[in-house]
Structure 1
Amino acid sequence: MDQQGQSSSGSDDSHVVEMVQLANELRGKLDALNSHQAQLSGGRPPRPIDIGRVRDHTRNVDNDEYDPDHVAIGPYNYPRQHLAMEDDKVMSIHTVLTAAKALRPGVTVEVDDYINELACLEESVRNCYADAYVDMTSGQFVRMLLHDGCYILSRLVGLQLGAQPMADAAGTANAGVLSANRPVPLAVLRDVFYLAENQIPFFVLAKIGELTGLDGNDRVITQIAKYALDLIRGQKYAMAAPDMEPTVPGNLLHLLHMHLKPVAPTVSPAVAPANGVDPEPVRRWRSASEYYFAGVMFKRREMSETGHTRCILDVKLSSGSGTLEVPCLDIDAETWRLLRNLMELEQQNREKVGSHVTAYCVFMSQLACTTKDVELLTKRRVIVHGHGNNDEVAKCFADLCKGIVFDPNDAHCNYLRETCSKLEKRFLSNPQRWMAWLRRKYFNNPWLAVGLLAAVIGLVCAIVQAVYSVLSYKHG
């Protein structure tokens, strides 16, 4: 009995010791986490946007939409596969150093200064990515930041001797510009701007600009933002510059995302249930053909720099006429790449950037998911495309949001929730469907409309004649 008691007591003691060790281990991890968060908020550059890897179930739909074709940026594509651009990056460092000597006369600026400053940012930059990249040494990581940062800066910002005009959005170098800005292929710009994985934090560009004598964030942000506006305006996705005051872009893809926000979302920030009853849930959008047979008309909405239509997201439903006004989506070979990567940015930073682009893509992917829908929207000039046929466009729309996580009933994520609800009520209304059927059946053809009108007049005359006949017979 004593031996059994001692054995039981020893087991209890070991269990207590194990629990104490577990508590100490968790306490240490929590302390380390709190210390890390305090460091991020204590004077170091903020971590506004996460640069994560594209998820497998999204990438599997079309892997090529997420990989660079010409220039690799950031650690996700390290070691470099596009070696042809590495020589250009070394030349970009030389360009930046030359510009720094011209813009900061009397100040000795060497490559060591850039390396030391970027080394101080290394931990903050690593924290922007999904993993810490422990397989990359500090030297490799800082070299990558210097190469990529100088490459981007030398092509998107005018590194000038004096007050000369900056390089335009086509990458053409003007006189007096100390830059590697020669005509840059649009495919290279799309690698730098469009890809979610092919990014470095914007504060790295700001730091390099500050060391070069570009007055810190102001000039770097202003000139790159102008470049981005020219790019996205040329693609006809947006017409007006966003408000840059409250938010500094996290990276170049985020800068493009800032241009794509609806001017006046059709859903209020908080949808309160009426009379204590939850509103009817929104399950999905109908196709364009289904809405058309329910009497919904489609109209192209013109974009402008001012007003309420500044980007492709500004969709509006006219409450009286039942007309859905949609800005024209000009589809080219890169449209799907941009939209997919913007959605991936939102999937990983929903609390920071919202889900407006995802809501729009879900709307368009269900509106134009069949060949008949694409044909209808093309006739209404809501869609313009250069693909071989409408079948190809419809398939691209149908595959656009595969793997995307999105709740259409969340008013904070779905800015088109109220529009969808109104369209669903119209679709389920039998009188609206009957009136739409009459319009399609008879009033689209003027001869049928005249025949129907004549038949109605004849019917009325026959009824009047019958009434008079009955009355005359009754009264003799």
Structure 2
Amino acid sequence: MAEVEMSMHTANSDQLVIDIERRLTEQENSYVGYPQYSIYRIPSHIRKNNEYYYEPRMVSIGPYHRNKEHLRAMEEHKLRYLGKLRNQKDRILHNLIKEIRDAEADIRACYCESVSLEEGDQFIEMMLLDSCFVIKLFFNEPDAACDAGWALPLIISDLLMLENQIPFFVLTKIYNIYTFGCVDPPSDGHDNNRPSFLTLATNILHETCKTNVERAKVPEAGVMIKHLLHLFYLLFVPAPEYALTPRQINVKIKGKKSRTNCLPLLQKPNLREFPGSSKFSEKNESPRVIKSAIELKEYGVILKKKENFASFLDISFEGGILEVPRITIEGCSRSRLLNLIAFEQCSGGADVDPIKKPLSSYAVFMACLMNMSQDVIVLEKAGILDNNLANSEEGAKFFHQVRECAHIDFDNHYLKQVFVEVIDYCEAFWPKHRAKLRHDYFSSPWTIVSLMVAMLVLIMAIFHTIGFILSTYFKEH
């Protein structure tokens, strides 16, 4: 009996080994030809507090939110867009399906979760409809569902959500077949009348998302764009200037006013290059927080809107003056920042390193400054913040919501030196005692009145004492 049970146990183990080996082989084969994931799911602990900003409201693109009830209405418009495209080109439908079918394995490998749709026609149809919808939308084809004043901004916002993406190479293939009649058109075919899809998408994102960049700069040809959100990230946070330290960049742009919203990302700062940061550099510590705007004022720090800057992330501190470029916060800003930071957090390797997650670092910095509604008012008065939300309380919540998903390496982020210098300044003798004096005696009108009364009583007592001494002296003489 024991021998029979052992034989059954061995057979079951062998079958389990076979099953696991098969699954591993299938997984390895499915990822051949594409290096890594590029379209991610938001982790549940991040999603639970901000689900509204991570899930599309008008249109589903890709498999993650497909067939959700509130998004089904747009499926009819996708089919209508595909019909328009088919009617404009002979046999284009056959060519499009063939290209997507040939690339199916590479497309699936872009998603970090197994695509729920079975291999074959359902998946191919979804990719075809979604990619044609995006392309026809970018061509500004008239459509009642998208031309409504509220509809287009919501659709563009949906297209810039991390979970609502399809691979950029799919969009490029479909666009090239539709525009040039082939997948790989010659480079001289991209003229002013027929731009490449990269150029078209760059201009659309620049115009509709109001990045404040004077002229949209198309990413270099060698850059591999993963999806539309990745392209927006590259436009919002362009390539760094590795050779320059933070102060060298400030010197470089001094006297040259810039309206660009593009970030020259900074190399890891060398503490020895910055005098006045001895406390943290000697302790080899990395600060995790700085004081809020209203607290910094108590320490004598001057909060100033930066005029000459390379980007809205170009923050500097010198001589007790904290300079921060002006930023506008509004409803649509929150969703875009959350999804950009989510992409920054999920991406690894060449996407973010050695960029050091600059948006995440910026979110942590601004969340420190804007701890409560009074801080928002201080920053507005300084010209640093333009708060278009309902009130100052909502403004204070803005970056705290964004900061929840912004995890950074405090030993190596582009604002580390600013944190160090601000804290060292506040720990110096005079700023520390100045802050204590203001907090204890000048924090409210009543404490000021009490101090003035006490000083008046003291002065009167001194004069009374002096008068008594003088009168006594004259009597004796």
Q: TM-score, normalised by structure 2?
A: 0.71
| Inter-CA distance 430–172: structure 2 relative to 1 (3 Å threshold) | farther
The yes-or-no answer on 1:132 pairing with 2:114 is: yes
| Inter-CA distance 393–238: structure 2 relative to 1 (3 Å threshold) | farther
**Could you tell me which residue of structure 2 aligns to residue 338 of structure 1?**
336
Deviations 1:336-390 (A, max 9, x none): 1111111111121133432121111111122112111111011112111222221
**Could you tell me which residue of structure 2 aligns to residue 297 of structure 1?**
302
2-side partners of 1:186 and 1:222: how far apart? Answer: 20
Segments of 5+ residues of structure 1 without an aligned counterpart are 1-5, 41-45, 102-107, 159-170, 443-476
Q: How does 1:180-329 map to 2 (within 5 A)?
A: 185-214=151-180, 219-232=196-209, 234=210, 236=212, 241=217, 243-261=219-237, 266=246, 269-270=267-268, 279-302=284-307, 308-310=309-311, 312-317=312-317, 319=318, 321-329=319-327
What SS does the aligned partner of 1:75 have? coil
| Inter-CA distance 20–48: structure 2 relative to 1 (3 Å threshold) | closer
| Inter-CA distance 439–149: structure 2 relative to 1 (3 Å threshold) | same
Q: How far is 1:132 from its partner? A: 2.0
Q: How far is 1:30 from its partner? A: 6.7
| Inter-CA distance 270–83: structure 2 relative to 1 (3 Å threshold) | closer
1-side partners of 2:157 and 2:114: how far apart? Answer: 23
1-side partners of 2:214 and 2:432: how far apart? Answer: 35
The number of aligned residues is 393
Alignment check: 8 A CA contact 2:306 2:326 kept = yes
Q: TM-score, normalised by structure 1?
A: 0.71
Q: How far is 1:97 from its partner? A: 2.8
1-side partners of 2:216 and 2:297: how far apart? Answer: 31
Bigger mean CA offset, 25-34 vs 122-131: 25-34
2-side partners of 1:145 and 1:434: how far apart? Answer: 64
User: Which residue type is aligned with residue 203 of structure 1?
Assistant: F
The yes-or-no answer on 1:425 pairing with 2:421 is: no
What SS does the aligned partner of 2:386 have? strand
User: Which residue type is aligned with residue 223 of structure 1?
Assistant: L
1-side partners of 2:166 and 2:216: how far apart? Answer: 25
Deviations 1:89-137 (A, max 9, x none): 11211232344x3xxxxxx433122112111121111111122224444
**Could you tell me which residue of structure 1 aligns to residue 81 of structure 2?**
92
Alignment check: 8 A CA contact 1:89 1:147 kept = yes
| Inter-CA distance 245–431: structure 2 relative to 1 (3 Å threshold) | farther
2-side partners of 1:210 and 1:78: how far apart? Answer: 26
User: Which residue type is aligned with residue 50 of structure 2?
Assistant: D
User: Which residue type is aligned with residue 284 of structure 2?
Assistant: P
2-side partners of 1:30 and 1:87: how far apart? Answer: 39
Bigger mean CA offset, 120-129 vs 426-435: 426-435
Q: How does 1:3-82 map to 2 (within 5 A)?
A: 39-40=32-33, 46=34, 50-81=38-69, 82=71
Aligned counterpart in structure 2 of residue 373 of structure 1, from 368, 372, 375: 375
**Could you tell me which residue of structure 2 aligns to residue 361 of structure 1?**
363
Percent of residue pairs bearing the same amino acid type:
24
Segments of 5+ residues of structure 2 without an aligned counterpart are 185-189, 191-195, 247-264, 273-277, 443-477
What SS does the aligned partner of 1:212 have? helix
User: Which residue type is aligned with residue 118 of structure 1?
Assistant: I
